[in-house]
Structure 1
Amino acid sequence: MKTIGVLGGMSAESTALYYRELNRLVRERLGGLHSAELLIRSVDFAPIAELQARDDWAATGALLAEAARRLEGAGAEAIILATNTMHLNAEAIRAAISVPFLHIGDATAAALTARGVKRPLLLATRFTMEKAFYKDRLIAAGLDPLVPDPADRDRLQAIIYDELCQGVVKPTSTAAGMMMVERGLAAGADGVIFGCTEVGLLLRPEDVGVPVVDTALVHCEAAVDFALG
């Protein structure tokens, strides 16, 4: 089994999900007392969130590249970044390491294609919904992603940062998220991407009514495929 380096803390809530899911998948595939070989570098999210708000992605890229180098130096044989938004810095991270970097967008696109989805609704942070780094990767895979309208993007951003990243899940926010889904389906979406690693804390795939790809879960599957392959 190969050792996976998990670059997390953005937020700690979703990184805990990654830890549980990676170990669950290895146990399911190998049985018994097996668990994943992991190295985790969990950063303090508050300074990174401040840099995000200032649009200083060069600074976040430098921080994450250094963290990835440390994971590789500690023995990681591949790196996964346990957040969608910070894949904006994927190239900076990839340039800093010599081991594979397993991109969450690739795992997401593959899962959407396998489910027959063509026009997924992307529910994520405002950065992921509005900047090109993520949507362009989906488009390159033959998909036509949709995003909520500006008011819904602002609302979802607040839910993610002010609630989910802090371990708070409010029924009113779940209801708001479901309304965003309904509006997306009315606009022509034929699937939904839980495109922030915390959105799975807010919404349940079984409540949506169309195929759902939870990016955190499919990313973990891709990492375990690599580790056991």
Structure 2
Amino acid sequence: MNYLGLLGGMSWESTAHYYSSINRHIRTLQGGLHSGRILLHSFDFETIALLQSKHQWTEAAQVLGEAGKGLAQAGAGLLVICTNTMHKIADPVAEIAGIPLLHITDPTIAALQQAQITQVGLLGTRFTMEESFYKDRLSAAGFQVYLPNQKERTEVHRVIYDELCQGKVIESSQQTYLKIIETLKNQGAEAIILGCTEIVILLTGLEQQAALPLFDTTELHATAAAEWLIRNP
């Protein structure tokens, strides 16, 4: 029997969304009392955030990889990192764990291609927006990527860590994000990638107010994970 291995707790708010979404999709697709065969390793995010802030990515990869190896030994056949930012180290994590990893950009790219969108705005942590690991995968798939300006990126990042990762949803931050989305539309973006698993917490219920369609990486990633579970009983 195959299990899905989740590396979570980064933050636990978004991990809870993953768990709920995966199980909801399985119930929708299979009906009855079906739910996901899931193994979860949940980190203390304070320790991971410290590694991020110190740019100790090699150490972080070792920590996540060893956790992934533990999930593999427990029966996981596929690994899911429940955060966009830590996909910076997706390849070494998968190598250490010794099992395949479902990269968060892959289902998002597929959804954008199906919608025939080629110009995208990207919101996420400063690591996701400013470093190449995420943008390069989008560019390689043929997308033009638009980013907020430096001041806006700083605020987007601050809201994620100081508010959303701590369970706070503040209306002024919602309005800030909506204004940034409108600015990205004016630059040429046709859609927005919510490239942080916490952003959906902020913008849920505001989709109609957003100037562009929102592609929720968390939901797309969770859906792909649920489909893998069904295909691999």
Q: What does residue 109 of structure 1 align with?
A: 109
Q: Is the 8 A contact 1:5 1:39 kept in 2?
A: yes
Q: What does residue 224 of structure 1 align with?
A: 226
- For residues 114-153 of structure 1, the aligned pairs below 5 Å read 114-153=114-153
1:130-161 CA distance string (max 9 Å, x none): 00000001111111111100000000111000
Distance 1:30 1:182 in 2: 39
Q: What does residue 194 of structure 1 align with?
A: 194
Amino acid at match of 2:214: V
Q: What does residue 78 of structure 1 align with?
A: 78
Q: What does residue 156 of structure 1 align with?
A: 156
Moved over 6 A (4+): none
Q: CA deviation at 1:43?
A: 0.3
User: What is the DSSP-based 3-state SS (H/G/I as helix, E as strand, rest coil) of the residue aligned with 2:83?
Assistant: coil
Amino acid at match of 1:104: I
Distance 2:213 2:164 in 1: 23
Distance 2:97 2:209 in 1: 40
Q: How many residues align?
A: 229
User: What is the DSSP-based 3-state SS (H/G/I as helix, E as strand, rest coil) of the residue aligned with 1:52?
Assistant: helix
Q: What does residue 92 of structure 2 align with?
A: 92
TM-score of the aligned structures, taking structure 2 as reference length: 0.95
Percent of pairs identical after alignment?
42
User: What is the DSSP-based 3-state SS (H/G/I as helix, E as strand, rest coil) of the residue aligned with 1:145?
Assistant: strand
Distance 2:18 2:28 in 1: 15
Distance 1:114 1:125 in 2: 26
Q: CA deviation at 1:120?
A: 0.8
Distance 1:86 1:97 in 2: 15
Alignment gaps of 5+ in structure 1: none
1:3-54 CA distance string (max 9 Å, x none): 1111001000000000100000000000011111100100011011111111
Q: What does residue 212 of structure 2 align with?
A: 210
Q: Is the 8 A contact 2:66 2:97 kept in 1?
A: no
Q: What does residue 36 of structure 1 align with?
A: 36
Q: CA deviation at 1:105?
A: 1.0
Q: Is the 8 A contact 1:2 1:228 kept in 2?
A: no
Alignment gaps of 5+ in structure 2: none
Distance 1:115 1:144 in 2: 15
Q: Is the 8 A contact 1:117 1:211 kept in 2?
A: no
Distance 2:223 2:142 in 1: 22
Q: CA deviation at 1:68?
A: 0.6
Amino acid at match of 1:120: V
Amino acid at match of 2:196: C
Matched, 1:19 2:19: yes
Q: CA deviation at 1:88?
A: 0.5
Q: CA deviation at 1:211?
A: 2.5
Q: Cα RMSD between the aligned structures?
A: 1.1
User: What is the DSSP-based 3-state SS (H/G/I as helix, E as strand, rest coil) of the residue aligned with 2:111?
Assistant: helix
